[in-house]
């Protein structure tokens, strides 16, 4: 059930990301065409690096800040999910959340962007390295999705960042990770949005 919710939340967030990618690519193509830049230059390493940077940095930054400040991206909030630390010692800081989303979105986007440029630029004469890039992209995405169905429910970027996604009932994070400690935590906890309303109810 958690995996299905995370996939649905991911699709919602991905739709926002795709919209941003389309805008960036449209601007890049428009600028290149308007200045009479050679078609080959559009597929050079420089264009790839700049475009990837303009796509990845805002996406990872916005998603990371959303998780650090409100515990969730728009998709996760819609599906009743929150991002928390895998243990009570780990806090959802901006650096940790942005790093998580840089791995989540940055790696696949950069790989996919390079693969698309390789396919379009190579025409009918596609080199072996283009196919290798396509295979790597598919493998990375498959590993990300497979992590959702593992026993722990932790993806690669969850494991690296030390964060995990849990269900939020009444806006209070409910520990759903197998990594959560069993011993009680008596230290002050940072209030979650909506806690005041629950306490009064």
Contact between 158 and 147 (Cβ < 8 Å): yes
Between residues 187 and 167, the one the model is more confident about: 167
Residues 164-175: tens digit of each pLDDT: 998 886 444 444
Interval 111-126 mean pLDDT: 68
**How many residues in total does the chain contain?**
201
Q: pLDDT digit string (tens) for 29-88? A: 666 565 554 445 555 556 667 767 788 888 899 999 999 988 899 999 999 899 999 988
Cα separation, 199 vs 195, in Å, equals 6
159 or 127: which leads in pLDDT: 159
Reported confidence tier of residue 129, pLDDT bands at 50, 70, 90: confident
Kindly report the three-state secondary structure assignment for every residue of the chain.
CHHHHHHHHHHHHHHHHHHHHHHHHHHHHHHHHHCCCCHHHHCCHHHHHHHHHHHHHHHHHHHHHHHHHHCCCHHHHHCCEEEEECCCCCCCCHHHHHHHHHHHHHHHHHHHHHHHHHHHHHCCCCCHHHHHHHHHHHHHHHHHHHHCCCCCCCCHHHHHHCEEEEEEECCEEECCCCCCCCCCCCCCCCCCCCHHHHHHC
The structure's pTM equals 0.70
pLDDT of residue 38: 46
Place of tokens 């420089």: 46
Query: What's the pLDDT tens digit per position in 136-184?
Result: 888 998 888 888 888 778 888 999 999 999 888 644 444 444 344 333 3
CA distances (Å), origin 123, targets 81, 118, 126, 164: 43, 9, 6, 42
């Amino acid at each position: 059930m958690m995996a299905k919710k995370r996939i649905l939340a991911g699709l919602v967030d991905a739709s926002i990301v795709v919209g941003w990618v389309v805008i960036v690519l449209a601007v890049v193509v428009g600028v290149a065409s308007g200045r009479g830049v050679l078609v080959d230059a559009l597929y050079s390493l420089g264009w790839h690096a700049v475009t990837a940077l303009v796509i990845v940095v805002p996406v990872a930054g916005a998603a990371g800040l959303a998780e650090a400040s409100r515990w969730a991206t728009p998709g996760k909030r819609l599906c009743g999910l929150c991002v928390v630390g895998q243990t009570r010692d780990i806090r959802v800081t901006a650096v940790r959340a942005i790093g998580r989303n840089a791995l989540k979105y940055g790696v696949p986007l950069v790989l996919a962007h390079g693969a698309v440029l390789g396919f379009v630029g190579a025409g009918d004469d596609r080199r072996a390295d283009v196919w290798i890039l396509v295979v790597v992209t598919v493998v990375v995405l498959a590993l990300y999705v497979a992590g959702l169905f593992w026993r722990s429910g932790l993806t690669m970027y969850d494991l690296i960042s030390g964060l995990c996604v849990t269900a939020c009932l009444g806006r209070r994070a409910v520990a759903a990770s197998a990594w959560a400690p069993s011993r009680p935590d008596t230290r002050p906890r940072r209030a979650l949005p909506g806690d005041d309303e629950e306490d009064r109810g």
